[in-house]
Amino acid sequence: MTWRRPDAAPQSYRPYGPARAPGVPLHRGGRDRMNPIAAGLLVLGVLGFMWLLEFYDQATGNSLDQYGIHAREVTGLPEIFSAPFLHGSFEHLQGNSLPFLVLGFITALGGFARWVKASLICVIFSGLAAWLLTPAGTIVLGASGLIMGWLTYVITRGFFDRRPGRIILGVAVLFFYGGLIWGVFPGQAGISWQAHLGGAVGGVVAARVLHGRR
């Protein structure tokens, strides 16, 4: 039996860990990160799905291309979310596969929820730019806008949350893949610089939204 003096004040308890002021966000640190194996499987799974779609598309006479972004058509706005999974040819998809794997993997290491949110922001910005800036009568499809968004997201997020490790990683990614940034300027015919530009802006916005210090 537990006994306590009637006049003894009840003890107060608080959780272990440093106290924080009300309204200050709690940074979870490593608990937000995704296991590298899980991150790799996630990105590989999405890429594998894209290859399956392209096999089906080629086998059915490019029947899936209609689900790309139809520029300037209001009815084509929902295709903003389907266009990144579709490609015009196996060569198109093959050219996107390696940067998709590398940049998607690096982004996913930051956590599944952040990967989803960052990807969604990049897809929306890239798709809207392609829909608005591309000449009417054009269909835009491919994952390069999302890839461009991941690129600028990885490069800039360290400057927003001020983590030296992420800044160093961003500089390394800029060194290896910085040449992709030239894709935001008008250049080769048949390449949607509009989607690249929107994706690049979306990546910076995602970094600010998800990593900016309050």
Residue 202 pLDDT: 97
Beta bridge partners of 160: none
Q: Please answer whether residues 102 and 96 qualify as being in contact, where contact means their C-beta atoms are separated by less than 8 angstroms.
A: no
Residue 162 phi/psi, 5° resolution? 60, 40
Distance CA 205, CA 8 (A): 55
Residue 186 pLDDT: 83
Residue 181 pLDDT: 80
Q: Which CATH superfamily is domain 34-211 in?
A: Rhomboid-like (1.20.1540.10)
Encoded tokens for 190? 């048949």
Q: Please answer whether residues 118 and 149 qualify as being in contact, where contact means their C-beta atoms are separated by less than 8 angstroms.
A: yes
CA distances from 135 to 68, 129, 131 (A): 14, 11, 9
How far from chain centre, in Å, is Cα 199?
A: 9
Successive 10-residue mean pLDDT values, the chain, 214 residues: 44 40 43 88 98 98 95 93 96 95 96 97 97 93 96 93 88 85 78 93 96 77
Q: What is the DSSP-derived secondary structure letter of residue 110?
A: T
Q: Please answer whether residues 143 and 87 qualify as being in contact, where contact means their C-beta atoms are separated by less than 8 angstroms.
A: yes
Residue 70 pLDDT: 95
Q: pTM above 0.75? A: yes
Distance CA 144, CA 163 (A): 27
Q: Please answer whether residues 70 and 79 qualify as being in contact, where contact means their C-beta atoms are separated by less than 8 angstroms.
A: yes
Q: Can you give the residue ranges of every domain in the chain?
A: 34-211
Encoded tokens for 163? 């983590």
Residue 31 pLDDT: 52
Q: Please answer whether residues 156 and 95 qualify as being in contact, where contact means their C-beta atoms are separated by less than 8 angstroms.
A: no
